[in-house]
Amino acid sequence: MSEATQTATLWLARIHVTLKPAVVDPQGDTILSALHQLHFNDVQGVRAGKYLEVTLRAADADAAAASVDAMCSTLLANPVIERYTFDVEVAPED
């Protein structure tokens, strides 16, 4: 990691990866069935997805977003059956 990178801003990306609407969601269907067994009978449907919080260093928000987009398309989401959305903000101080 270069010195410039170490002094770059720390960003927090919140990423949602969800199945495309046409794709069958066995995990969601299983949760729906379990909710009905627990007498939550007003539930109509459940779709299950992934939520990822990624912290990364980048010079600016555009660079951070470009990096996160590359991560999503190459590793975090399967473009055949999933889609992803994300937003990027300055990471809160711990």
Binding site for a second copy (CB under 8 A): 1, 5, 8, 10, 16-18, 28, 31, 34-35, 38, 40-58, 67, 70-71, 74-76
Pick the closer one to a second copy by CB: 20 or 50.
50
Q: How far is the CB of 69 from a second copy (least distance, A)?
A: 11
Cα(31)–Cα(38) distance, integer angstroms? 10
How many CB atoms are located within 10 Å of the residue 77 CB? 21
Q: How far is the CB of 45 from a second copy (least distance, A)?
A: 5
Q: How far is the CB of 61 from a second copy (least distance, A)?
A: 14
Written as six digits, the tokens of 39 are 């007498």
Pick the closer one to a second copy by CB: 41 or 80.
41
Burial 46-68 (b: 16+ CB within 10 A, else e): eeeeeebebebbbeeeebbbebb
